[in-house]
Amino acid sequence: MGDQSKLMSLNLKIWRQPNSGSQGEMIDYKLDGISPDMSFLEMLDVLNEELVQEGKDSIAYDHDCREGICGMCSLMINGQAHGPEASTTTCQLHMRKFKDGDTIVIEPWRAKAFPVLKDLMVDRGSFDAIISAGGYVNCNTGNAPDGNAIPIPKESADLAMDAAACIGCGACVASCKNASAMLFVSAKISQLALLPQGKPEAQKRAESMVTKMDELGFGNCTNEAECEASCPKGIKIENIARMNREYLSSALKSK
Partner 1 sequence: MSQSNKLDAKIPSGPIQEKWDKHKFDSKLINPANKRKFTVIVVGTGLAGGSAAASLAELGYNVLSFCIQDSPRRAHSIAAQGGINAAKNYPNDGDSVWRLFYDTVKGGDYRSREANVYRLAQVSNNIIDQCVSQGVPFAREYGGYLSNRSFGGAQVSRTFYARGQTGQQLLLGAYSSMMKEVNKGNIKVYTRREMVDLVLIDGKARGIVSRNVVTGEMETYVADAVILGTGGYGNAYYLSTNAMASNCSASWRAYKKGAFFANPCFTQIHPTCIPVSGDHQSKLTLMSESLRNDGRVWVPKNKGDKRPPNEIPESERDYYLERIYPSFGNLVPRDVASRNAKFQCDDGKGVGDTGLSVYLDFGDAIKRDGENTIRAKYGNLFEMYERITDDNPYKLPMRIFPAVHYTMGGLWVDYNLMSSIPGLFVLGEANFSDHGANRLGASALMQGLADGYFIIPYTLGQYLAGTKLEKLDTNHDGFKSSLDDSSKHIKKILDVNGSKTADYFHKKLGKAMWDNVGMSRSTESLNKAIEEIPKIRKEFWNDVKIPGDSNQINLELEKAGRVADFLELGELMARDALERKESCGGHFREESQTEENEALRDDDNFCHVAAWEHEGENKVPTRHKEELVFENVKLTQRSYK
Cβ atoms of residues 179 and 223 within 8 Å: no
Give the chain's end-to-end CA distance (angstroms, integer). 65
Quote the least distance from Cβ 220 to partner 1, whole Å: 24
89 binds, among partner 1, ligand FES, none (CB under 5 to 8 A by kind): ligand FES
Q: Which of residues 214-243 bind ligand FES (CB under 6 A)?
A: none
Exposure of 72 in the CB half-sphere (CA atoms within 13 A)? 11
Among 8, 15, 47, 68, binds partner 1 (CB under 8 A): 68
The torsion angle over the Cα atoms of residues 222, 226, 229 and 230, rounded to 10 degrees, is -130
The reply to whether 49 sits near ligand FES by the rule CB under 6 A is no
229 binds, among ligand FES, partner 1, none (CB under 5 to 8 A by kind): none
22 binds, among partner 1, ligand FES, none (CB under 5 to 8 A by kind): none
The reply to whether 89 sits near ligand FES by the rule CB under 6 A is yes
* Count of residues that interact with ligand FES, criterion CB under 6 A: 12
CB nearer to ligand FES: give 89 or 190: 89
Nearest CA-CA partner of 163 in 213, 93, 236, 95: 236
Q: Which residues contact 146 (CB under 8 A, 6 or more apart)?
A: none
Q: Which of residues 139-198 bind partner 1 (CB under 8 A)?
A: 139-148, 150-154, 157-158, 160-161, 164-165, 167-168, 191-192, 195, 197-198
Quote the least distance from Cβ 48 to ligand FES, whole Å: 15
Among 58, 211, 244, 249, binds partner 1 (CB under 8 A): 58
Phi, psi of 213 (to 5 degrees): -55, -45
The reply to whether 133 sits near partner 1 by the rule CB under 8 A is yes
Quote the least distance from Cβ 221 to partner 1, whole Å: 23
In DSSP terms, 14 is beta-bridged to: 27, 106
Beta pairing, strands 76-77 & 80-81: antiparallel
CB nearer to ligand FES: give 61 or 218: 61
Compute the distance between CA of residue 49 and CA of residue 85 in angstroms, rounded to an integer.
Answer: 26
Nearest CA-CA partner of 131 in 213, 196, 243, 62: 213
The reply to whether 91 sits near ligand FES by the rule CB under 6 A is yes
Q: Which of residues 17-46 bind partner 1 (CB under 8 A)?
A: 18-19, 35, 37-39, 41-42, 45-46
Cα–Cα distances in Å, from 161 out to 81, 168, 173, 240?
23, 15, 21, 16
Cβ atoms of residues 70 and 15 within 8 Å: no
The reply to whether 71 sits near ligand FES by the rule CB under 6 A is yes
Residues in touch with ligand FES (CB under 6 A): 63-66, 68-73, 89, 91
